[in-house]
Chains A and B, each alone.
Chain A
């Protein structure tokens, strides 16, 4: 009976219900997408770093795991010293340059030979390796996003690049250029942002790291395998706070709309509340009826939110193929729980008001 009352009430004012449902849906979708985008991008980045195939990464002191933003570069000489360590098979320097004009990209300046030595090498889908100074390698995702094919000319950092090849994604970056060209371009002669180390055997990773720490104390030295577990929002300064603030904002929107919806409902149904009281309904019944109604509204909203999340992801990925949005059931459930809690909170004041209405006054309400 309570179910019938709730359903009938919800369909009695379809527009109001729709607005409430949409608000909760947007709330849920916002949470799912924000979390999905950050965790998707982070894990995708981590996988790409891991996918390089090297064992160790050396970064400047106090460097972030977001290697794109890692402070001032180091002299390439360090790489030569690292190469002399026991159990080191090969080292490779890379200069990372962040570019945000036009699109957001990180360009890696590499030496093709040393990079091939530390990694298992690129998979060339089309074209050939870096040969000329203006050659650029573009991974398949970026090629799709920028609509590039081998032979195309492509301007980046105020420089015209010649697309030498389309490579398979998953090797650290999406764009690779010759190290020396990039060094000249950004004025960082003989400098590198990171060094990649390949050990003679993977089991020697710990030993090499210990040696390297003695050789260059203070530098950030991490195994590549650690990136996947380290690359979480809590490890990126400010990111978790940002996510939390976004979640709070989303919840606030949902809460306010549910509040307003239920508040107008209570005012509109003042007389009905009087009628229920005349039938012997107590305060608890009135509160229960209204909370059930907002819970119903919220549940429909959550379903809408799930649909909206997948829809928005599909739309984003169609427009921006290099984005990675990770929608997971734990987070859908969490977002649903958060939305439900917000809805209950938003409905509790209107429900309380309704339960306290004077029966006689309510019955004479027009």
Chain B
């Protein structure tokens, strides 16, 4: 597919193929992110306008250093926007304090990383349960059962991350990310450290989460084949989104 030079206008009422027209669950307006490197500000995001409808799955692609991770961190409230607005489920993150963003992240965002990022001292079960604990509702055995069996983790729950394969670790990480039913699942190259077989398993599970549970997903990937599992692909370059053509 070709990359158009025009910057996409912010979507107001998005139309997703096969889905109803809905207000976006996630929306950025002229979003800037500057990093301070010595005495100069390095722009990582330079006016990103981006919207995701509830239940949509979006793949974000782009060359290294174009700002994909930065976008994900700002959307997820891990980093503060420098300029512009970030609306998650109607809440403006750019106007929030660090503590408020933490609270929003706790209830509405799930993160999956390239490096799995499981807590090494806890077994798989503890890694998932700690998300429920931090969320504050305590251990919910029913939800736990649903999520772990969906991700095929039933037999591996007592194992520590070091005793799990990369694919298993990433599935634990996904389970941890969705255990609290977040509005949006954000994944930063989740298959980047996996072989093709495990990548496929993870991608299939993400698609299943999206199709069966209606989980909204935004995933960064370098793998063009991965985009086939998603509703829509977005391309970034030099801190801006350069298209928004639906994948299918």
* Residues in chain A within 8 A of chain B (CB atoms): 1-2, 4-5, 8-9, 11-12, 271-272, 274-283, 285, 359-360, 363
Contact = CB atoms under 8 A, between A and B. Distances in A.
B119 A275 contact: yes
Interface string B82-112: 0000000000000000010011011101010
A280 B78 contact: no
B62 interface: no
A281 B78 CA distance: 11
A271 B102 contact: no
A1 B129 contact: yes
B192 interface: no
Interface residues of B, number: 28
A280 B101 CA distance: 9
A280 B106 contact: yes
A256 B86 CA distance: 44
Given A8-B121, A272-B120, A280 B113 contact: no
Given A1-B130, A363-B113, A277 B102 contact: yes
A100 to B, nearest CB: 55
Contacts of B113: 278, 363
B126 A5 contact: yes
A280 B122 contact: no
A9 B121 CA distance: 6
A271 to B, nearest CB: 7
Interface of A is mostly: helix
Interface string B113-126: 10001111110001
B194 interface: no
Contacts of B171: none
A279 B175 CA distance: 12
Contact of A279 (B99, B106, B121, B139): B106
B69 to A, nearest CB: 8
A279 B130 contact: yes
A1 B139 contact: yes
B244 interface: no
B156 interface: no
A271 B131 CA distance: 16
A42 B117 CA distance: 59
Interface string B68-90: 00000100101100000000000
B103 A275 contact: no
Interface string B130-157: 1101110001000000000000000000
B176 interface: yes
A12 B126 CA distance: 14
Given A277-B102, A281-B134, A360-B78, 6 more contacts: A5-B130, A11-B121, A272-B119, A276-B119, A279-B130, A279-B131
Nearest to B127: A275
Contacts of B133: 1-2
B77 to A, nearest CB: 9
Contacts of A271: 117
A7 to B, nearest CB: 9
Residue of B106, B107, B109 with most chain A CB atoms under a 10 A cut-off: B106
A285 B134 CA distance: 8
B76 A278 contact: yes
7 contacts: A1-B130, A5-B126, A277-B78, A279-B134, A279-B176, A282-B102, A359-B73
Contacts of B121: 5, 8-9, 11-12
Nearest to A280: B106
A276 B133 CA distance: 11
Contacts of B107: 280
A2 B126 CA distance: 10
